[in-house]
Chain A
Amino acid sequence: MYRYDEFDYTLVNERIQQFRGQVSRRLNGELSEDEFRPLRLMNGLYLQLHAYMLRVAIPYGTLSADQMRMLAHIARRYDRGYGHFTTRQNIQYNWPKLEDVPDMLADLANVEMHAIQTSGNCIRNVTADPFAGVAADEIEDPRVFAEIIRQWSTLHPEFSFLPRKFKIAVTGSPADRAAVGFHDIGLKMRRGPDGEIGFEVVVGGGQGRTPLVGQTIRDFLPKADLLSYLEAILRIYNEQGRRDNIYKARIKILVESLGAPAFAELVEREWEQTRGGGLDLPGDEIARIETYFAPPSYPPASVADNALTQARAAYPVFDRWCRVNLSDHRQPGYGIVNISLKPTGGIPGDISAEQMDVVADLADQFSLGEIRATYVQNLVLPHVRLADLKPLYDALADAGLATANIGLATDIISCPGLDFCNLANARSIPVAQRISERLADPDRLEAMGALRINISGCINACAHHHTGDIGLLGVDRKGVELYQITLGGRGDGDAAIGSIIGPAFSYDNVVGAVDNVIGTFLEQRQDGENFAETYRRIGPAPFKEQLYGTA
């Protein structure tokens, strides 16, 4: 993984000093709240319902065991003993004090972490496939370019006061595990006409009030041109994005209003000027960053392990965990272990300081010291020998981290909602908890197959409900919490926005409604279809019929 050099350390430490100065100028009144707000946002510090909230960046979701230990320390020392992994591969703390934040940032800097640009109208954390570097189906590791983009976008003097936030995602695999179709810029690594690897550039995807799937504006972009092309896109957006209405200020609105071809034309013309200069990526700079992401030298591991086979035969619960939580690794004898942060009835994405320490130790012991955070609020141990799965599982189970529900209906994605967030209209967490408890039966869960439920507490859609097989959107009607259900969303390569199925449900009835939808699916499915396949085949009508008694 990337390691700071002297420049990176200098930047982060200077940034902390700068923020210390800004905090003290706020506390002594030299800065008003209006002036301070964008500054603290650019350092990831929100003011929420009950307290401040600090969002720490985990670049493209990769972290080391030592970094995880520091995150645990932060939770214990400055917060209430836990953290929350987000839908952009970051971690949030719900209870920091303003006066403590510079110290928190200083502690984080010691392990090469920061909270720069995790909020504000600037370029945010560049996210990537959590299986980057180890997925069996990968073309190339997208994190090399996520890192290059991260550097270029950090404290970019021209793009720190954009019309609105800006999110970039990169995937190195045809299976899009980074939802690039729903980002302001999505980059899909692919082979070009001469066989060399480059990017398909997708622009204008997003969720929120106006969900849109991004559109391809360039089929193939060579690696060397990446930054000059991105700079062209950002400049056009900075100049022409709307500034009169925050709900119409994302680049997706600009792309939609101009039309993708006209927008692409603007970018291409600007790119003629930005390319061929200081933003061109020299081959040796790419190679230098690549060395940080070189595959580790894997200790030899046998492909067929007797001990594993026996353990799976002897322990059905472990066997299920292997079936559900394990993903294919490109290295023979190894597997990708998914750690569920969605225990039955738990708060999706939350993890205690003690659990963070356990994950750190297990990463050192079983995963070459590396961990990933996913955009569905789970963790990954990316380098696990199959022979180690049983001892790893036992340790995870002891720590409450072995729920076998990855990708299943109780692997719920939920925003913090009205329990925590200033923007929310309704609570999301207790709805997630109740759905999780209702669907907890492990056999039924596994039989249902892949089923994604996303719950957002407001239209900002931080839980990406538009992309859920079943999406819930919390709304407030005259002081009452109601939940709108959408069906048929997809966040992967076949990106699709879910459709509202009918009138909203109350807090008391929504869990029953979700159960009802699943019931319809189970009745209608054929040949082991998953929810998405059944929905694609039969459409919304049977679901509406069962929910509302009308077609």
Chain B
Amino acid sequence: MALLRNARVEDDDWVFVADDQPIPTDGPVVISFSRYQAERDRLNDRDGPLGLVLDSDQTPRDIAEDVGRFELICLKFPKFTDGRGYSAARLLRERFDFQGELRATGNVLRDQLAFMLRCGFDAFEIPDSVNALKWLPALSEISVHLQPAADGLPDNVARRGRRVFGGISGVNQARPAGNTEVWAR
């Protein structure tokens, strides 16, 4: 799998640790939600950034208070038709104010990138076989938005100057959360 981030293919520095493997004492590591629940307090003792993987049937509402501990959250799409990750992403960005990298993993398709970006994702795990450059135009195919979302872009009502745009928490966002603005369009 390749990592599409910052509008290009990048190397992934993160180390994904399986549930039955020891967690390295330093460096960036990503663990599952059940691992996190089991070892919450012990993780305070390590150096290095922490990342979390949520399956599609695990809700970010359960980590609302803890989002500040993570620099990476991966939301899994087991099948592209499973759209729970879109709500999870918006909650993380707009409700719980997650500031780190929000990555879509699993069955991620080109024609979902724009929706995902609007929901607050700023990194995407894509198949190796894909030419990422062919995927990037997908992000600018639709420039008009008819509802507020995590990207902080004005929707049609806001563009007509009738309200200050804001996301799902009513927080007036002057800038998009996360790193979405680098996907310039």
Chain B neighbourhood of A238, CB < 8 A: 83-84, 86-87
Q: Are B86 and A157 in contact (CB under 8 A)?
A: yes
Cross-interface CB contact of B168 among A11, A35, A162, A277, cutoff 8 Å = A277
Q: Are A276 and B83 in contact (CB under 8 A)?
A: no
Q: Are A162 and B146 in contact (CB under 8 A)?
A: no
Query: Could you mark each residue 123-165 of chain A with 1 if its beta carbon is under 8 Å from any beta carbon of chain B, else 0?
Result: 0000000000000000000000000000111111111111100
Cross-interface CB contact of B170 among A21, A162, A275, A282, cutoff 8 Å = A275
Chain B neighbourhood of A22, CB < 8 A: 111
Q: Are A160 and B83 in contact (CB under 8 A)?
A: yes
* A29 on interface, CB distance cutoff 8 Å: no
Chain B neighbourhood of A158, CB < 8 A: 83, 86-87, 90, 115, 119, 149
Q: Please give me the residue from chain A that is nearest to B90 by CB atom.
A: A158
Q: Are A35 and B109 in contact (CB under 8 A)?
A: yes
Given contacts A273-B95, A279-B148, contact A14 B142 (CB under 8 A): yes
Chain A: residues with Cβ within 8 Å of the partner, total of: 45
Chain A residues with CB under 8 Å of chain B are 7-8, 10-11, 14-15, 17-18, 21-22, 35, 38-39, 121, 151-163, 227, 231, 235, 238-239, 243, 273-280, 282, 284-285, 288
Given contacts A7-B156, A121-B81, A160-B83, contact A278 B163 (CB under 8 A): yes
* B42 on interface, CB distance cutoff 8 Å: no
> Do most interface residues of chain B lie in helix, strand or loop, or is the interface mixed?
loop
Given contacts A160-B83, A239-B59, A278-B148, contact A155 B142 (CB under 8 A): yes
Chain B residues with CB under 8 Å of chain A are 56, 59, 80-84, 86-88, 90, 95, 109, 111-112, 114-116, 118-119, 141-149, 155-160, 162-172
Given contacts A274-B168, A277-B168, contact A155 B149 (CB under 8 A): no
> Do most interface residues of chain A lie in helix, strand or loop, or is the interface mixed?
helix
Chain B neighbourhood of A160, CB < 8 A: 83, 86, 115
Chain B neighbourhood of A162, CB < 8 A: 83
Contacts across chains A and B counted by CB atoms under 8 Å:
127
Q: Are A17 and B163 in contact (CB under 8 A)?
A: no
CB distance from A70 to the nearest CB of B (A): 22
* A123, B86: Cα distance in complex, Å: 15
CB distance from B108 to the nearest CB of A (A): 11
Chain A neighbourhood of B56, CB < 8 A: 243
CB distance from B170 to the nearest CB of A (A): 2
* A14, B156: Cα distance in complex, Å: 15
CB distance from B130 to the nearest CB of A (A): 10
Q: Are B169 and A277 in contact (CB under 8 A)?
A: yes
> 24 pairs across A/B with beta carbons < 8 Å?
A7-B156, A7-B159, A8-B144, A11-B144, A14-B142, A14-B143, A15-B142, A35-B80, A121-B83, A152-B147, A153-B147, A155-B142, A156-B146, A157-B86, A157-B118, A158-B90, A161-B86, A238-B83, A273-B169, A277-B169, A278-B155, A280-B163, A285-B163, A288-B160
Q: Are B109 and A239 in contact (CB under 8 A)?
A: no
Given contacts A238-B84, A278-B165, contact A10 B144 (CB under 8 A): yes
Q: Are B83 and A161 in contact (CB under 8 A)?
A: yes
What 20 new A-B contacts, CB under 8 Å, besides A18-B142, A158-B87, A288-B160?
Answer: A15-B142, A18-B141, A21-B141, A152-B147, A156-B146, A158-B119, A161-B80, A161-B86, A163-B83, A235-B168, A238-B87, A239-B84, A243-B81, A243-B84, A274-B170, A276-B170, A278-B155, A278-B170, A278-B172, A285-B160
Cross-interface CB contact of B166 among A14, A38, A277, cutoff 8 Å = A277
* A276, B156: Cα distance in complex, Å: 18
CB distance from A507 to the nearest CB of B (A): 36
CB distance from B137 to the nearest CB of A (A): 8
* A74, B170: Cα distance in complex, Å: 44
CB distance from B141 to the nearest CB of A (A): 4
Q: Are A154 and B83 in contact (CB under 8 A)?
A: no
CB distance from B165 to the nearest CB of A (A): 6
Cross-interface CB contact of B82 among A7, A18, A243, A285, cutoff 8 Å = A243
Q: Are B168 and A156 in contact (CB under 8 A)?
A: no
Chain B neighbourhood of A121, CB < 8 A: 81, 83
* A157, B111: Cα distance in complex, Å: 11
Q: Are B119 and A157 in contact (CB under 8 A)?
A: yes
Chain A neighbourhood of B95, CB < 8 A: 273
Q: Are B162 and A284 in contact (CB under 8 A)?
A: yes
* A79, B116: Cα distance in complex, Å: 36
Q: Are A157 and B114 in contact (CB under 8 A)?
A: yes
Q: Are B59 and A277 in contact (CB under 8 A)?
A: no
* A17, B137: Cα distance in complex, Å: 12
Q: Are A152 and B82 in contact (CB under 8 A)?
A: no
Closest 5 CB pairs of A and B: A277-B170, A161-B83, A278-B166, A157-B118, A278-B148
* A277, B94: Cα distance in complex, Å: 11
Q: Are A161 and B170 in contact (CB under 8 A)?
A: no
CB distance from B80 to the nearest CB of A (A): 7
* A277, B93: Cα distance in complex, Å: 15
Chain A neighbourhood of B80, CB < 8 A: 35, 38, 161
CB distance from B114 to the nearest CB of A (A): 7
Q: Are A11 and B171 in contact (CB under 8 A)?
A: no
Q: Are A159 and B86 in contact (CB under 8 A)?
A: yes
CB distance from B177 to the nearest CB of A (A): 14
Q: Are A14 and B167 in contact (CB under 8 A)?
A: no
Q: Are B119 and A155 in contact (CB under 8 A)?
A: no
Given contacts A273-B95, A284-B162, contact A235 B87 (CB under 8 A): yes
Q: Are B168 and A155 in contact (CB under 8 A)?
A: no
CB distance from B171 to the nearest CB of A (A): 7
CB distance from A152 to the nearest CB of B (A): 5
